[in-house]
Structure 1
């Protein structure tokens, strides 16, 4: 009888915690202030919120959003159409998540930055469309007012990855398990970082670059370059990645020449860049390679 009574009490408490749906004008309703489609909209497009989840007043849920049990959605969160949130997920702060994203259990998005300079200023996290955040990954808000931690479209953050304040991840980036990005790190499109890799603050990793697992990244990694080891060393071009992206053979050949001039000649960086610009064909990819290296503030991996 005692066990039955406890079960009944828990059931009653859970039922009382589920907010009522108030009908509004048009095709939308609010659950404790969260914007939801009314049944008059297409049935499959209605958000689904588990009774054990908490959606705060002010949160906006697009059509087809799913919220799993024991997850928390803060009052300033915006979730795009078709995004699915697993169990025990925390989405707080000024966080905007695009359409069709997958947020797996235990992930924390929009929490305060781990920055001693932070003084409570309103800042944001913005995540694009079709991005996947796996188990226990974390994405922190930016430090100063009006600043943003940005994650692009089609990004994959594997389990336990950490994206610190003010980081900017381009489209199609992959961070493998337990990659840790310090503050203000930039990772350009199609770059891949292997597991257990820490990246120093303010480092930039160029497009289509590849960093081997277990590496420590204290300096910038140029576009299309493959780097690995401790200490980190450049070890050629990311040929497999360029092949997958369909970069033409003639462009890859010029990038290979650019790499050899920069890394294999006896020239310093400025001299090597001048030679690349003077001798190689002016493909956009070569120009991007040169400009990345020229604008590097932390210096490039050697």
Structure 2
């Protein structure tokens, strides 16, 4: 089968022929219909997992976390899935030779969930990584209806999902992003909008006196975002390296996304009903995967490139 890989020391992704895999006990083999490209894939390409000691050095790493497709095989002990079922899932292991950007991928069964019949596989492939990160980040914050939440990087994939999911819970959201994204963010549930820039915390505190109850820092602003949170509030960073000190008694967490097929299925069902906005930047054939890794020519990318075999 064909798969997209990163080679140690090379800045260019490759599409290679590699041995196919059969599902082992407790696993599901998926025929890939669509696989999203995320910033974490570029980080793997740049060698970040090895550099930060997350995995041992090796020659080849598979790329791709998000997948939507259909079941092509089930391993021993797997129930609830049959060949031909439409599914989506998340590959959350770093140390693999092939990832979701391939013609087939094998995942643990609990990393896979059913895909609603009305949801297109290409759009669905943008859900698992970023949707689960947003959901799990909100779980760490443990907010109640009426609480206030600052979301930085709100126009990005994790940030956008966080705004929608929080607003659906009755949380009052302050969205932080570029000025051009204000209409979109208000449309998906943000009560307030603050343009990124200097004196961010002061401008947020002018809207929410005393500071917000919590922040999810998708833009990894660190102390600038923390300063917008009240004393004793909560803060979630997207990784440990971006987590600021727990000043003023703030509960500081970082979210390492974990695969959760059942929750991914809930997010897909929510999207199918119009409760979650899915954004696809464009569709690229798997053979041309390198195009999806090229830096944007201007501005930030809204949505995700999706590879199709």
Larger relative contact order (CA 8 Å, sep ≥ 6): 2
The answer, yes or no, to whether TM exceeds 0.5 is no
Larger Rg computed on CA atoms: 1
Q: TM-score range by the shorter chain?
A: under 0.3
